């Protein structure tokens, strides 16, 4: 389309978009936090809590995300119900190369896993550091110790746990691999011991890993550091077909409880996928006693002991089915060796709105002080709420009245530390007491730190029921500028997954588009998390029709009832959101002015042979998945019929594709497949490929470039 008088001249618009992004990128994001307490010596009735929070901020000049720590001191009355004062005694401190950290139970020591980047002279290194309040006590070079590979710092496997006695440190690391050399390597040492002798002729053997965002993570093992001696030992006795993670100490410090994921028949992508074959296991430190604690045929995660160390909770689901779904909260009695279900799968939302537990894991500290309640975050329709679950009555209480995205950061001495954001509110760090069971739902949260709200952005949740059936209801979140008199141009955004959710959180991309004069409609179609298991499963076998139809219905309703420019409607999305967007421009070829898509699924048939989660396509199309990945012609035809590529001949909408060069979830070959077809057919198409970026496209240079190019593409193709 030719640029018209209504469109801002390109260079002026680019400068405007760039300036807006620069301003928004200076807003940091809360990524973690913890609470530590000590008695206030001046007043025996008061407690001082040290509130430590971790923040991340984009640095456009250095093209990296800077991580820093803020420390506040909050003083509460003796019953922890009334906040007396909050102080921030120092400036933020940048955390350089810190991968993991853990404070000892007494609060006297801190353990840090630090990565030292490679230089021209030295390879990358990792160190375990032990600090007191006064100085560094011990620093151990992991590579020099030569006991294992890299320490796992990721959220899937990573663990760094002090023993109750503070004598040992438990962590997860990659299993040490033998050196592999060529048949013709003249440097092979004949003096090597049999144990350390290099393996000849295996250097090109394929080694699988756990896929997207877990590259080179293939066989995590349990390791223990003796703090005083400085000795590192690997815990033996775990079957060789298990990758371990999320490890915690057992009662008595004699063993370890952990999550374990099975390798056989082969590893599949694990991140965002709760359906992988797994179990909760216990191993004694000497490796002589190994047992499975979780029920068979369950996929599990997040084992957590109560403060009394006699009850173990974890999350569970069936191993069959979609990559993310409603989870059960299970409790294992350590003494009786019995298992009960605290919260079961919920098919449809209850009268109070609760639709089940939907999360990626439990907070590291999630128990009330008396061991009777569990605090966790869960998707709840188009929000992420904080819930208190009573393990005795099995009741669920919503602790957050305000819609938006709430995250539990820590629970300590019946105080809850949380973060909150919404489309118009970048970040708040909050705290509140956990009162006695059955009350306190209406207590206010106290703000410890916050960023200024965007007064020029407003938002609302919209409930949609196309045929009046409440069991088929879903939601959309409408975000728009507050101060424009002319008709605003709308960008529709279906989320990825499809079994994910847009929880009304702050997104720099959405805020930036609003400040450029656009509105954004993000739709939580049926199949999204947080609306009930049966509602989620309704999408299976209907991808490309039900999800597309529901997003289109939401869009039509908003255009009918709100004052938006009906001649200029845009669509953007990533992954499955890109899948829906491509279906849009194929099924409704004259409706949208332009589309911008990131790492989209284009062809399920070609995806199953290249993705780290080949089962995804089979499950979403309601086809049987077999580990051998063999399918008949009828199945391939069905997969193709659900794919956007089946509508490609009808596409005329200007299309911009943004691909991560090292994306393993939806490999760039998917986007290139669409690009070549559109290019050959004369459609206005642009392809951007971001080196060293995977599925999220979340590195600073890629994020910033994508925002300006999306904005520019939409501006260019306004009617």
Packing angle of the helix pair 700-716, 508-515 (nearest 10 deg): 30
692 is catalytic: no
Q: What angle do CA 540, 544, 548 make, to 5 degrees?
A: 110
575 is catalytic: yes
Phi-psi group of 80: left, alpha or beta (phi > 0 → left; psi -120 to 50 → alpha; rest → beta):
left
Q: Is 537 helix (H, G, I), strand (E, B) or coil?
A: helix
Give one DSSP letter per residue of 61-101, joined into a string. Answer: TTTEEEEEEEEEEEEEETTS-SEEEEE--S--EE--SEEEE
Contact assessment for residue 273 and residue 301, using Cβ atoms and an 8 Å cutoff = no
**3-state secondary structure string across 157-170:** CCCEEECCCCCEEE
453 is catalytic: no
Residue 625 has, within 13 A of its CA and on its CB side, a CA count of: 18
Exposure b/e, 460-473, CB count within 10 A at least 16 = b: eebebeeeeeeebb
Q: What is the rounded CA–CA span in Å between residue 337 and residue 334?
A: 5
- Write out the two tokens for 501: 């959710």
Q: Is the peptide bond before 114 cis (omega within 30 degrees of 0)?
A: no
- DSSP E strands: which ranges in 468-525? 474-481, 488-494, 518-524
- Write out the two tokens for 327: 């989870």
The catalytic residue among 410, 414, 612, 663 is 663
Type and span of the H or E element at 616: helix 615-620
The catalytic residue among 302, 422, 504, 575 is 575
The catalytic residue among 422, 695, 711, 717 is 695
For residue 23, give Cα distances in angstroms to 52, 512, 658, 697: 26, 9, 23, 20
Contact assessment for residue 219 and residue 175, using Cβ atoms and an 8 Å cutoff = yes
For residue 291, give Cα distances in angstroms to 4, 224, 370, 391: 70, 19, 28, 25
Q: What is the rounded CA–CA span in Å between residue 244 and residue 247?
A: 8
- Write out the two tokens for 450: 């916050």
Q: Please, which residues bridge with residue 180 across strands?
A: 199
Q: Catalytic positions, please?
A: 575, 663, 695
């Amino acid at each position: 389309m030719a640029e018209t008088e209504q469109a801002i001249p390109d260079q002026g618009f680019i400068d405007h978009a760039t300036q807006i992004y620069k301003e928004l990128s200076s807003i940091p994001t809360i990524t973690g936090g913890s609470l530590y307490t000590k008695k206030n010596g001046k007043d025996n009735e008061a407690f001082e809590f040290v509130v430590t929070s971790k923040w991340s901020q984009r640095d456009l000049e250095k093209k990296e995300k800077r991580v820093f720590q803020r420390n506040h001191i909050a003083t509460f009355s003796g019953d922890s119900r009334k906040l007396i004062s909050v102080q921030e005694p120092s400036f933020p401190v940048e955390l350089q190369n810190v991968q993991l950290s853990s404070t000892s139970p007494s609060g006297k020591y801190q353990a840090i896993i630090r990565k030292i980047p490679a230089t021209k002279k030295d390879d990358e290194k990792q160190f375990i550091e032990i600090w007191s309040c006064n100085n560094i006590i011990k620093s151990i070079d992991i590579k020099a110790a030569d006991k294992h590979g890299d320490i796992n710092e990721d959220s899937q496997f990573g663990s760094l746990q002090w023993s109750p006695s503070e004598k040992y440190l438990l962590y997860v690391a990659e299993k040490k691999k033998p050196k592999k050399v060529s048949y013709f390597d003249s440097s092979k040492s004949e003096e090597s011991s049999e144990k350390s002798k290099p393996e000849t002729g295996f250097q090109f053997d394929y080694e699988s890993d756990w896929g997207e965002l877990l590259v080179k993570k293939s066989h995590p093992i349990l390791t223990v550091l003796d703090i005083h001696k400085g000795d590192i030992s690997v815990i033996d006795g775990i079957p060789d077909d298990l990758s371990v993670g999320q490890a915690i100490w057992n009662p008595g410090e004699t063993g370890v409880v952990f999550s374990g994921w099975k390798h056989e028949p082969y590893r599949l992508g694990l991140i965002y996928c709760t359906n992988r074959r797994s179990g909760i296991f216990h191993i004694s430190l000497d490796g002589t006693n190994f047992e499975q604690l979780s029920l068979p045929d369950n996929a599990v995660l997040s084992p957590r002991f109560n403060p009394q160390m006699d009850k173990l909770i974890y999350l569970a689901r069936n191993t069959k089915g979609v990559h993310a779904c409603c989870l059960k909260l299970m409790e294992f009695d350590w003494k009786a060796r019995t298992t009960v279900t605290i919260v079961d799968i919920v098919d449809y939302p209850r009268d109070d709105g609760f639709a089940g537990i939907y999360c990626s894991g439990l907070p590291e500290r999630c128990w009330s002080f008396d061991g009777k309640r569990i605090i966790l975050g869960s998707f709840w329709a188009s929000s992420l709420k904080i819930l208190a679950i009573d393990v005795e009555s099995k009741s669920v209480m919503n602790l957050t009245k305000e819609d938006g995205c709430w995250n539990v950061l820590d629970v300590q001495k019946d105080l809850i530390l949380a973060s909150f954001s919404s489309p118009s509110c970048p970040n708040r760090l909050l705290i509140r007491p956990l009162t006695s069971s059955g009350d306190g739902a209406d207590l206010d949260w106290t703000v410890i730190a916050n960023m200024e709200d965007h007064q020029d952005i407003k938002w609302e949740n919209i409930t949609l029921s196309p045929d009046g059936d409440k069991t088929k209801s879903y939601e959309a979140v409408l975000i728009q500028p507050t101060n424009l008199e002319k008709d605003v141009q709308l960008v529709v955004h279906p989320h990825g997954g499809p079994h994910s959710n847009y929880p009304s959180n702050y997104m720099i991309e959405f805020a930036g588009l609003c400040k450029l004069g656009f509105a954004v409609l993000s739709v939580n179609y049926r199949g999204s998390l947080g609306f009930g298991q049966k509602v989620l499963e309704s999408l299976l076998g209907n991808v490309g029709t039900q999800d597309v139809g529901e997003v289109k219905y939401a869009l039509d309703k908003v255009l009918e009832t709100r004052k938006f420019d009906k001649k200029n409607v845009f669509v953007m999305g990533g992954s499955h959101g890109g899948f829906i967007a491509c279906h849009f421009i194929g099924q409704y070829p004259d409706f949208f002015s332009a589309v911008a898509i990131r790492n989209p699924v284009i062809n399920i048939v070609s995806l199953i042979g290249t993705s780290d989660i080949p089962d995804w396509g089979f499950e979403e199309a309601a086809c049987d998945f077999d580990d051998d990945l063999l399918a008949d012609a009828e199945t391939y035809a069905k997969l193709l019929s659900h794919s956007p590529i089946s509508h490609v001949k009808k596409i005329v909408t200007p299309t911009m594709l943004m691909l991560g060069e090292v994306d393993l979830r939806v490999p760039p070959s998917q986007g290139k497949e669409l690009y070549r077809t559109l290019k050959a057919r004369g459609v206005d198409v642009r392809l951007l490929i971001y080196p060293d970026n995977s599925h999220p496209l979340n590195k600073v240079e890629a994020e910033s470039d994508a925002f300006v190019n999306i904005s520019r593409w939409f501006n260019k193709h306004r009617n």
